[in-house]
Structure 1
Amino acid sequence: MTSLSASLVRGALLSPFKRAGRPDAALPPDRPTRPAASVAPGPLAAYGRICGFTESGALPLTYPHVLAFPDTMRLMTGRAFPLPVLGLVHTWIEIAPHRPVEPTEPLELTVYAQELNPHRRGTEVTMTTEARVAGELVWESRSGYLSRHAPRRPEPDPASTPSAAEAGANLPTATASTAGRPAAASPEELPARAEWSLPGDLGRRYGAVSGDRNPIHLYPLTARLFGFPRAIAHGMWTAARCLAETQDPAAVRTVRIDFRAPVLLPATVTYAADAAGDAFALRGPGDRVHLVGAVNRKG
């Protein structure tokens, strides 16, 4: 937690000296690795309680991300990282649990910046986290973080622009797994499964458990300094709370969550999902969509 707080301070100090959208921007090649260690039972239990995970024995699907986040922040707030960390928005996460991980297994964690891509609202970086047990890759995730700025609009190269016929040839064709399948329900159409009342101090409580004490999550005053009227819930808390409703976490092959809109605290939100829990969403008043998720199951 101390290292994460130090990274936040360093990121705030260095952000004014960084300019997103530079055409010559390059990502640092560093791959910080945390040596293999078993998970501390006390913090794990506290995390499970605040996120709604049951004590099933295996680590919650999102917990390796939390364990590695101080190293991720240290990389993103370093001098070699091209984007300013202030204002960086977590836009999505993909998680692939290759097998259940027991808390007693010594977990080695590695993080690195995978790629930098233009985005319609700025520049997006993809950060990767990998967890290994005795050299075996047991869990991995990719996360998108958006630095908002006026996007560069280079002139298109006519020689590289495909014709309509060529573009159509690249579209995927229907397969046995998708042909005839009805379209997935929109986030607004998914049936409500639960309603959660989120207290105003949720950001401080989750921050104490995860170590992520970003000011936007703590108090209305500190959130207003960054343009929010009130403190907002951590995106990874909303993701974890929804995944805690997954019927069989051990059956998850991959999961993708896209963060749509912040949750202003306090709040009342609705967890909505299809019957299998493969498609889910978190909605606020007026069907405001905070996140959408999709689970790909094994078998």
Structure 2
Amino acid sequence: MLFTLFMSFTLIAVVGSLLYYRTLIKPPPRNELIILFKNNKDLPSMLSRLPSILANAIFKSQGKNCNGFHAFPQISISIGPSLIDPKHVSAYKSVCCLKEKENCENEVAPICYPVVNIFRFQPLVFSLPCFPFSPFGIVYIRTSICQNHPILVGSKIKYTTSVKNARETERGWEIDFNVCALTENGDTVWKCVQTMLSRKRQQKVQRKSHHKDHSDECLKTQNSAIFSVPANIGLKYAAVTGDYNPHHICRLGAIMFGFPRKIAHGQWSLESCLGQLQKSTGIVIQPPYKVECAFKLPVFLPSDVRLIWSKKDNTTDFSLWSADGKLPHLTASLETRNVPYF
């Protein structure tokens, strides 16, 4: 009922923008757009950008560079000093099942937290008239995180984000979102590249057949742990992060995006795996480190999943599977070293 009312309100709100929106679909001057925000609180909410996101979805085709620009528009967003709020970090740790420190002094932000702290920049980019892809059909396929120094809870961090290139592949267009976290003095402490895929329409089918059955290997390994993903985790995670994409929070929204049931957020899956890895192995992840992750099949809600891992020297490879080991959800690696990455 609430979702129906929400979508009705959104459709009414978008009607006005549709009348003039087509005149706005053009590259910015010098093919570069720079947006400045005082802090993360000034970022527009996902709800406020929804009419423009829907307009982009209506006027642009899925999996195509619809503006036909000679060069991909250079979109940069700078966000001023933003508090790493202890209450927000605590809520984030709780929803991702991360262990809370007994002593809150010198508590550090979780590995994926910085980009979650400014999540609202993504719907802002998707809503821009110069963004040449339809927001519908965009999926999160890879992420790479490097961190040189801890980010203390209670400190203030500045952010720079950019979307500067896209690559056409067989599956569609890959778009890189680059995020950097800096101290107030301007020193970079954390970097992330999130790769999104604007899927071609024919890529919606026959995904399952591309993955081999590794159930025997998964079930035989001793380095594994099974944990449950509750049905309401999408809504809980959205309440903390602001990522209210419909396919995460309700079945009707999932069906609209081509999924039979709600699916878990990819970022939640990765952070939860890192938390489970620390609990199961006793390792303490401290910077400098690098995390690389490739997302495979979605985690449907609710479900049981199996985390498996192997360690060699300073690298731990891990992956998330369905409990029976038949369906892969993500594959990743964690590398730690004594020398800074950048």
- TM-score, with length taken from structure 1: 0.82
Matches of 2:186 and 2:251, distance apart in 1:
44
Q: Retained in 1: the 8 A contact 2:149–2:287?
A: no
Shift in Å at residue 286 of structure 1? 4.2
Amino acid at match of 2:163: A
Alignment of 1:111-260 (within 5 A): 111-133=161-183, 134-149=185-200, 189=217, 191=221, 192-244=223-275, 245-246=277-278, 247-260=283-296
SS in 1 for 2:247: helix
SS in 1 for 2:234: helix
Aligned to 1:29: 74
Shifted more, 38-47 versus 190-199: the winner is 190-199
Shifted more, 65-74 versus 127-136: the winner is 65-74
Matches of 1:128 and 1:249, distance apart in 2:
23
Matches of 1:94 and 1:131, distance apart in 2:
14
Matches of 1:136 and 1:295, distance apart in 2:
23
Shift in Å at residue 26 of structure 1? 3.7
Matches of 1:80 and 1:2, distance apart in 2:
17
Matches of 1:113 and 1:264, distance apart in 2:
29
Matches of 2:264 and 2:258, distance apart in 1:
15
- Unmatched segments (≥5 aa) in structure 2: 1-42, 102-106, 203-213
- What is the aligned counterpart of 1:44 among 89, 98, 103? 89
Q: Retained in 1: the 8 A contact 2:148–2:287?
A: no
Q: Cα gap change, 1:5/1:98 in structure 2, threshold over 3 Å: closer, same or farther?
A: farther
Shift in Å at residue 188 of structure 1? 7.4
Q: Deviations over 1:249-284 (max 9, x none)?
A: 214521101000001101000111114671000000
Aligned to 1:14: 56
Q: Cα gap change, 1:297/1:189 in structure 2, threshold over 3 Å: closer, same or farther?
A: farther
Q: Cα gap change, 1:188/1:50 in structure 2, threshold over 3 Å: closer, same or farther?
A: farther
SS in 2 for 1:101: coil
Shift in Å at residue 25 of structure 1? 5.6
Aligned to 1:287: 326
Q: Cα gap change, 1:212/1:187 in structure 2, threshold over 3 Å: closer, same or farther?
A: farther
Shift in Å at residue 42 of structure 1? 1.4
- TM-score, with length taken from structure 2: 0.72
- Unmatched segments (≥5 aa) in structure 1: 152-185
Give aligned-pair identity as a percent. Answer: 27
Shift in Å at residue 109 of structure 1? 1.3
> Is 1:61–2:111 an aligned residue pair?
yes
Alignment of 1:90-129 (within 5 A): 90-129=140-179
Q: Retained in 1: the 8 A contact 2:173–2:198?
A: yes
Shift in Å at residue 9 of structure 1? 4.0
Aligned to 2:135: 85
Shift in Å at residue 73 of structure 1? 2.3
Matches of 1:188 and 1:232, distance apart in 2:
25
Matches of 2:147 and 2:308, distance apart in 1:
23
Shifted more, 54-63 versus 264-273: the winner is 54-63
